[in-house]
């Protein structure tokens, strides 16, 4: 068994002399998303076409191994199955060096990669807003003045959440779906 086979075993994260609490913490930490993993995922979500490790480190303002190691963990199917981040199939030259051997892998969120084309996907357009018969007037007042069925004055809303921007459908008492008669 090679050292690489043990890379993601919890035993490699502790010393034999560590207390049982350290060993328990190492077991728990394995294969769980940490704040550093979340930071790597957040940065990658903001860059749909992917990033090299160098670019990730530039954005995180840390050229140590911290963020590169978290990206490696997010890429490893033994750590996260399926992996969150994958090889895009592309490389990019490090802008710090023009040497032809200085190509770096472009890593991309798995969800942004079209596996048939090996190219970044464009984000899906947001879903259309739900239908509504309400609106805001020019002064910002919420208006729901007519029933969606008959046009009578409407006092009963369905699917309304003003904090989420969902104006819902409005009905008179007779046509309100919640009155039990329709």
pLDDT in tens, the chain (182 residues): 333 334 345 566 677 888 888 777 776 665 567 788 889 989 998 988 899 998 998 898 888 888 888 899 888 887 777 788 999 888 888 766 566 667 889 999 888 776 554 555 555 677 777 788 888 888 888 888 899 999 999 999 998 888 888 899 999 999 998 876 54
- How many domains does the chain fold into? 2
Per the domain annotation, does 146 fall within a domain? yes
pLDDT for 67 equals 87
| 144 in any annotated domain | yes
Q: How many helices (H) and strands (E) in the chain?
A: 4, 8
- pTM value is 0.47
Give domain status of residue 127, yes or no: no
pLDDT value of residue 170:
92
CB 148 within 8 A of CB 154: yes
Domain co-membership, 39 together with 97:
yes
Q: Are residues 94 and 162 in the same domain?
A: no
Residues 116 and 140 in one domain: no
Query: Could you tell me if 164 and 132 are in contact, meaning their C-beta atoms sit under 8 angstroms apart?
Result: no
In a domain, 1, yes or no: no
**What's the confidence (pLDDT) of residue 101?**
67
Judgement on whether residues 115 and 154 belong to the same structural domain of the protein? no
Q: Are residues 159 and 113 in the same domain?
A: no
What's the first-to-final CA gap in the chain, in angstroms? 70
Q: Do 162 and 105 share a structural domain?
A: no
Residue 150, domain extent? 135-179
Question: Same structural domain for residues 68 and 41?
Answer: yes
Q: How far apart are CA 20 and CA 95, in angstroms?
A: 46
């Amino acid at each position: 068994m090679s050292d690489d086979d043990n890379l993601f075993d919890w035993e490699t994260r502790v010393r034999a002399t560590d207390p049982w609490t350290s060993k328990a913490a190492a077991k728990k930490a394995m294969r769980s998303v940490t704040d550093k993993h979340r930071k790597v995922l957040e940065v990658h979500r903001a860059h749909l076409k992917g990033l090299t490790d160098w670019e990730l480190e530039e954005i995180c303002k840390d050229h140590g191994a911290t963020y590169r190691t978290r990206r490696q963990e997010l890429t490893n199917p033994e750590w996260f199955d399926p992996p969150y981040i994958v090889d895009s199939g592309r490389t990019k030259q490090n802008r710090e060096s023009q040497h032809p051997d200085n190509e770096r892998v472009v890593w991309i969120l798995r969800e942004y990669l079209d596996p048939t084309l090996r190219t970044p996907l464009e984000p899906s357009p947001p879903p259309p807003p739900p239908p509504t018969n309400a609106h805001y007037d020019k002064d910002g007042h919420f208006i729901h003045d007519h029933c969606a069925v008959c046009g009578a004055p409407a006092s009963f809303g369905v699917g309304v959440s003003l904090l989420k921007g969902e104006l819902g459908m409005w009905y008179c008492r007779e046509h309100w779906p919640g009155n039990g008669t329709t």
